[in-house]
């Protein structure tokens, strides 16, 4: 589907590709810093609180998949 693009924000999607290759395709970074969901990460009963705190980014030429809302 070469040439496809999206003009709106997408949620609950999967990105396909190798991590470093995807990071190289970031072509814009917002100046906002929005805190997302707070949760826990752990192993063997050793939980640590975690959260995401990052700006919006725009990624070019990447395969995106997910279910429609």
pLDDT in tens, 7-36: 677 777 787 888 899 899 999 998 887 677
Cα–Cα–Cα angle for 55, 11, 68, nearest 5°?
165
pTM of the model: 0.53
Higher-pLDDT residue of 69, 21: 21
Indicate if the pLDDT at residue 6 is higher than 90.
Answer: no
- Strand 13-16 and strand 46-54: pairing? unpaired
Distance CA 64, CA 4 (A): 11
Distance CA 4, CA 41 (A): 36
Mean per-residue pLDDT of the chain? 79
Amino acid 1: pLDDT: 43
């Amino acid at each position: 589907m070469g040439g496809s693009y999206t003009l709106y924000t997408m949620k609950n999607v999967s990105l396909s590709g190798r991590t470093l290759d995807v990071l190289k395709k970031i072509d814009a970074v917002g100046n906002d810093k929005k805190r997302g969901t707070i949760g826990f990460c752990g192993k063997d009963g050793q939980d640590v609180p975690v959260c995401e705190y990052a700006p919006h980014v725009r990624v070019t030429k990447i395969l995106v998949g997910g279910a429609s809302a």
